[in-house]
Structure 1
Amino acid sequence: MTALGFLYPGHFAEDDYPRIEQLLAGGIRVDTVHTDAGEGVYGVEALRRSGAPERLAAGVEELRLAGAETVVWASTGGSFVYGWEGARDQVRALARQAGMPASSTSFAFVHAAREIGAGRVAVGATYPADVASLFTDFLRAGGVEVTGVRAAGTVSAAEVGTWGEEDVLTLARAADGPDAEAVLLPDTALHTAAYVPLLEKALSKPVLTANQVTVWEALRLTDRRVNAPELGSLFTREPIIQV
């Protein structure tokens, strides 16, 4: 049994994680501990507060007692708002506190894009434009070219948590462009685990979503590979590079 640990801010789309666990088809346990999401709004300072060291540290002991082998901070906005180096420091501190390998959803997107060989991506962000631009800056710092970005302008994770299949598909289509080799949907408050095959069929290209890449990143940290077609191209391809 491989035990994966996640620190998830608040209560928005956390039910994606048990769904993903089921789709991984045995031998993998997904443990999710909820951290304080604070205001749950998509402002830069609010997102920085959600990723503060003391908020992450509060959930680490519970994951350790559950037997987690790795921990991923399951928040895109709560990591990329610190910039590349700040997010790296955040993950390093988390690894020291947890005593196990650690990462975050923002780094998961960079690693996943490399894994599928997508050097050029389009971004469909639920966030306001200023927050979305920080994510594209983060991707570029990781060597991923952004061909275009669609910012939906929502102001809170609670609102995004109510989105359904058509909302997600509309955002992905609006973001996509002919130069993009993949489309990224960077918000762990967005339900996507049930929609990845639909999205990839509609766009005819890989789609990387926040909760999907977060779980993949935890598996990567444990050197575990799983073939799970219902989770999209990321879970069916042979590795292209070693990260």
Structure 2
Amino acid sequence: MIVNAPEIRLHPDRPLLDARPLEKRVGLIILATDHTTEPDYRRMVASERIGVYVARIAYANPTTPQNLRKMQPALTEAAALILPDEKLDAISYSCTSASVVIGDDEIEAAIHAAKPGVPVVTPPQAAMRGLRAFGTRRISVLTPYTVETSRPMADYFVRHGFEIASFTCLGFEDDREMARIPPAALVELARETTHPEAEALFVSCTALRSALAAPGMEDAIGRPVVTSNQATAWNCLRLCGDDTHHPQWGRLMTMPLSRD
């Protein structure tokens, strides 16, 4: 049976186009091994108004300063792959320990080589802004890292004017295992490790599911808690002009952005 092909007609008029499919665009550069950041950003950042666009870069455990530093050359290419030739409203590099080891300025320069002028957000930088939004200077810090990987983190916050009342690490070397720590366990760890004189707790690492645990940690210690993904999500939302309060993700999500 021979079927005649249908006639295909070209419509004479093209629809008028919106300026953008979504009003705001957040770029997200994450590790190949990352289980946590994308789900966190789907919950905390993405909406009918804000799109989140992700690129992954190669990373190999263990989490050591040497391995973390190896990601720097890949940042420009990763940024270039996020909506090529289109502007972003913010771009976040989602690795706290690597941001400390590589340096905020170096990360910004690498991303700006592909995306000039876009506001760049790193987890330690966003965490500092969050802690300053609360007016805190004396903090406790909790990380899943080894002592070797935690040391640059301690130095970073001291260098930026914070007093560390206590610093506790858990000794993990694999970020995939860090992602498996239950949020309920983080609540108990916050209770156990926050110094009585600390004004706030910073929980480092984008692999941790600490954004889910932030309200429980705050209830447990009676003080503000700032976590890596929570802080970058908050920073990106505010850069997109979203000042909505989201207390379900912790007190920080009710605060205005404190810029450097």
Tell me the TM-score range normalised by the shorter chain: 0.7 to 0.9
What SS is found at the alignment partner of 1:127?
A: coil
The residue that corresponds to 2:98 in the other structure is: 78
SS at match of 1:122: strand
Unaligned runs of 5+ in 2: 1-22
Q: Which residue of 2 aligns with 1:16?
A: 40
Give the Å deviation of 1:30: 2.4
Question: Which residue is 1:133 aligned to?
Answer: 151
TM-score of the two chains, using structure 2 as the length reference: 0.82
CA deviations on 1:63-84 (whole Å, 9 max, x unpaired) are 23475321111110111013xx
| Equivalent pair of 2:90/2:119 in contact (CA under 8 Å) | yes
Q: Which has the larger radius of gyration?
A: 2
Give the alignment partner of residue 29 of structure 1, picking from 51, 54, 71: 51
Aligned residue for 1:40, secondary structure, equals: coil
Q: Give the match for residue 67 of structure 2.
A: 46
Partner of 1:234: 252
Alignment of 1:87-98 (within 5 A): 87-98=104-115
Please report the RMSD computed on the Cα atoms of aligned residues, expressed in angstroms. 2.0
What is the alpha-carbon distance in structure 2 between the residues aligned to residue 26 and residue 123 of structure 1?
Answer: 35
**Other structure's SS at 1:194 match:** helix
TM-aligned CA deviation for residue 127 of structure 1: 0.4
1:236 Cα deviation (Å)?
1.1
Structure 2 SS opposite 1:97: coil
Deviation at 1:41, TM superposition (A): 1.8
Call closer, same or farther: CA 1:31–1:44 in 2, change over 3 Å.
same
Q: How far apart in 2 are the matches of 1:218 and 1:187?
A: 17
Change (3 A) 1:174 1:133: farther
Q: Could you tell me whether the CA contact under 8 Å between 2:26 and 2:91 is conserved in 1? A: yes
Greater mean alpha carbon deviation, residues 210-219 or residues 120-129: 210-219
Superposition map of 1:113-132 within 5 A: 113-132=131-150
Q: 5 Å matches for 1:130-169?
A: 130-169=148-187
1:81 aligns to what SS in structure 2? helix
Deviations 1:138-160 (A, max 9, x none): 01122222111011011110110
Structure 1 residues 18 and 232, CA gap change in structure 2 (3 angstroms): same
Give the Cα separation in 1 of the matches to 2:125 and 2:156: 9
Answer whether contact 1:4 1:69 (CA < 8 A) is retained.
Answer: yes
Q: Distance in 2 between matches of 1:221 and 1:30?
A: 13
Amino acid at match of 1:159: E
| Larger RCO (alpha carbons 8 Å, 6+ apart) | 1
The alpha carbon displacement at 1:93 in A equals 2.7
Report % sequence identity.
Answer: 24
- Taking the aligned partners of 2:232 and 2:239, their CA distance within structure 1 comes to 11
Contact 1:64-1:98 at 8 Å conserved across structures: no
Structure 1, 55-64 or 102-111: larger mean CA deviation: 55-64
Question: 1:223 deviation in Å?
Answer: 4.9
Inter-CA distance 229–130: structure 2 relative to 1 (3 Å threshold): same
In the alignment, the residues of structure 2 paired with residue 78 and residue 131 of structure 1 have an alpha-carbon distance, to the nearest angstrom, of 9
* Contact 1:31–1:68 (8 Å) recurs in 2: no
Corresponding position of 1:3? 25
Q: Distance in 2 between matches of 1:185 and 1:141?
A: 18
Contact map agreement 1:118 1:182 (CA 8 A) in 2: yes
Partner residue, 2:81: 62
Closer, same or farther in 2 for the Cα pair 1:219/1:92, shift >3 Å? farther
TM superposition shift of 1:242: 4.5
